[in-house]
């Protein structure tokens, strides 16, 4: 394996930005300093550019089966899109059917994920609770190193779970010293409103938004905070979208509860007004939770700034506009989800760092370090001696416009179409190998690894 010397970069470390060099040996960060020298290395000139840790996106859904077909990206196209945007590690999901054997579900997902060019982990979604469930979950942890789990409080007709099941799962995850990611939306509120609107003939995408009010999220976050108090389970609340949600997390942290939270770029860039557009535009924003008000959006930015929200992840789950999103007039049947794994760092850099809402270090923490720490992705997420050399040469001078025509994601549209952005991942190094540079992949080099077995120390 070739050694690398990245020279004259603005190196973004945990708390600082230092002008210096990084020596990469055997795929690891070997030395950080000024005027480093080493024989027989490949030299990369990073003058005028930032060097940041490879991004970690802990919330993506590649190749997700739904009644409208699979989400657009499989593990190859999705991971390539991730790499092109500076994300070198992602975490996807194993979501078994209600009665499916858990081990078989993991095996199936592992075989689907083989083509990935980025490194990855898998969260597991328990969907039932019976006398055998604790053993099933402990076995996954032993065999695959799975320590992060995900449950849905919405979607009870499918994968969502009842409170009794939730409490047992939280108790079990706490025993494993794992972490439980939770989709917080109250299913009963949503189903009540959906049925009411459909009865009244109100079926346009606007009613998708109106059937999932802020209260559905607030009720569920409030519940999960209480349940965390009772069970001691570490909890990660996915895609927080409301001001009160942020406030509940802030208070829970003040109370010393082990609660972490994420939001997503779409909640930071758009608000509910988009649902008042014509079908073809509005339907692109059918995902859950839905976009909220300007006040909610400001609270999300404030939550990122003051550390209440720990992570910006994408919930990447795009469906084509033609043939998937546009075939159902009834909003309850439109597949939920949107894409963004490719644009996460760029959007947060443009709309967070360059607007002075976030420092460059906060940007790196939210997109790289925090998700790696929360989900125990060992040796990733930081520029630190001995860590994997997952590095991104970030060109801050790049200016461009997001367009579906140019994207690596396999989707016929993007909700970010026409948005002007600054900054770009110019070169991406994965475990010491240059896997992507100037919008080209080195297919011989990029080979993703499942990180699940590594770094396991199950109690």
Half-sphere exposure of 184 (CA within 13 A, CB side): 33
* 8 versus 156: smaller Cβ distance to Zn ion: 156
Least distance (Å) between residue 292 CB and Zn ion: 17
Tokens of 254: 């003040």
Euclidean distance between CA atoms 421 and 401, whole angstroms: 6
Least distance (Å) between residue 324 CB and Zn ion: 17
Least distance (Å) between residue 92 CB and Zn ion: 10
Kind and range of the H or E run holding 345: helix 344-348
Kind and range of the H or E run holding 75: helix 75-84
* 147 versus 150: smaller Cβ distance to Zn ion: 150
Least distance (Å) between residue 153 CB and Zn ion: 13
Euclidean distance between CA atoms 109 and 119, whole angstroms: 15
Euclidean distance between CA atoms 427 and 435, whole angstroms: 8
Least distance (Å) between residue 8 CB and Zn ion: 40
Strand 87-94 versus strand 119-124 pairing type? parallel
Least distance (Å) between residue 264 CB and Zn ion: 9
* 5 versus 190: smaller Cβ distance to Zn ion: 190
Least distance (Å) between residue 242 CB and Zn ion: 17
Least distance (Å) between residue 59 CB and Zn ion: 6
Least distance (Å) between residue 311 CB and Zn ion: 13
| Residues of the chain by 3-state class (helix, strand, coil), percent to 5 | 35, 25, 45
* 262 versus 315: smaller Cβ distance to Zn ion: 315
* 77 versus 314: smaller Cβ distance to Zn ion: 314
Euclidean distance between CA atoms 439 and 296, whole angstroms: 35
Closest CB to Zn ion: residue number: 315
Tokens of 43: 């030299």
Phi-psi region of 376 (alpha: psi -120 to 50; beta: other; left: phi over 0): left
Least distance (Å) between residue 154 CB and Zn ion: 11
Q: At what angle do helices 187-199 and 214-231 cross, to 10 degrees?
A: 160
* 234 versus 316: smaller Cβ distance to Zn ion: 316
Contact residues for 117 (Cβ-Cβ < 8 A; gap 6+)? 76, 79, 80, 83, 435, 441, 443, 446, 447, 448
* 245 versus 446: smaller Cβ distance to Zn ion: 245
* 13 versus 113: smaller Cβ distance to Zn ion: 113
Residue 216: burial class (beta carbons within 10 Å; 0-12, 13-18, 19+): buried
* 73 versus 315: smaller Cβ distance to Zn ion: 315
* 159 versus 345: smaller Cβ distance to Zn ion: 159
Tokens of 201: 């003939």
Binding site for Zn ion (CB under 5 A): 315
Angle at 260 between CA 364 and CA 252, to 5 degrees: 130
Strand 259-263 versus strand 311-312 pairing type? parallel
CB crowding 117-135: b at 16 or more within 10 Å, else e: bbbbbbbbbbbbbeeebbe
Q: Are 52 and 84 in contact (CB under 8 A)?
A: no
Strand 17-25 versus strand 4-12 pairing type? antiparallel
* 315 versus 433: smaller Cβ distance to Zn ion: 315
Beta pairing partners, 130: none
């Amino acid at each position: 394996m070739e050694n690398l010397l990245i020279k004259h970069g603005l190196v973004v470390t945990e708390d600082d930005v230092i002008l210096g060099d990084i020596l990469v040996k055997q795929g690891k960060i070997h030395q950080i300093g000024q005027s480093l020298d080493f024989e027989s290395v490949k030299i990369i000139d990073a003058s005028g550019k930032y060097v940041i840790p490879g991004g970690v996106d802990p919330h993506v859904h590649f190749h997700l089966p739904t009644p409208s077909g699979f989400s657009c990206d499989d593990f190859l196209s999705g991971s390539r899109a991730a790499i092109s945007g500076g994300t070198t590690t992602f975490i996807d999901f194993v979501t078994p059917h209600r009665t499916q054997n858990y081990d078989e579900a993991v095996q199936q997902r592992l075989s689907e994920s083989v083509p990935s060019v980025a490194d990855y982990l898998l969260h597991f979604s328990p969907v039932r609770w019976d006398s055998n469930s604790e053993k099933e979950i402990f076995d996954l942890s032993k065999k695959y190193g799975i320590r992060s789990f995900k449950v849905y409080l919405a979607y009870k007709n499918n994968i969502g779970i009842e409170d009794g099941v939730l409490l047992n799962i939280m108790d079990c995850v706490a025993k494993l010293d794992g972490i439980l990611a939770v989709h917080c939306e109250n299913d009963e509120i949503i189903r009540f409103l959906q049925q009411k609107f459909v009865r009244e003939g109100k079926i346009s995408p606007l009613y998708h938004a109106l059937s999932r009010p802020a209260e559905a999220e607030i009720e569920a976050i409030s519940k999960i905070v209480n349940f965390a108090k009772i069970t001691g389970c570490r909890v990660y609340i996915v895609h927080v979208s409301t001001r009160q949600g942020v406030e509940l997390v802030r208070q829970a942290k003040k109370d010393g509860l082990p609660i972490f939270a994420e939001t997503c770029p779409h909640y930071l860039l758009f608000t509910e007004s988009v649902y008042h557009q014509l079908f073809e535009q509005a339907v692109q924003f059918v995902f859950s939770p839905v976009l909220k008000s300007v006040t909610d959006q400001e609270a999300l930015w404030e939550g990122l700034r003051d550390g209440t929200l720990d992570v910006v992840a994408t919930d990447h789950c795009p469906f084509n506009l033609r043939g998937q999103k546009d075939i159902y007039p009834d909003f309850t049947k439109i597949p939920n989800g949107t894409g963004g794994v490719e644009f996460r760092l760029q959007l947060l850099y443009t709309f967070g760092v360059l607007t002075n809402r976030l420092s460059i270090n906060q940007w790196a923490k939210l997109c790289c370090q925090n998700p790696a720490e929360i989900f125990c992705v060992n040796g990733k997420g930081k520029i630190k001696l001995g860590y994997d050399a997952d590095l991104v040469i970030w060109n801050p001078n790049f200016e461009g416009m997001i367009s579906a025509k140019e994207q690596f994601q396999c989707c016929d549209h993007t909700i970010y179409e026409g948005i002007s952005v600054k900054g770009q991942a110019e070169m991406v190094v994965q475990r010491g190998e240059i896997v992507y540079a100037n919008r080209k992949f080195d297919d011989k080099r990029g080979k993703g690894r499942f990180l699940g077995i590594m770094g396991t120390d199950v109690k």
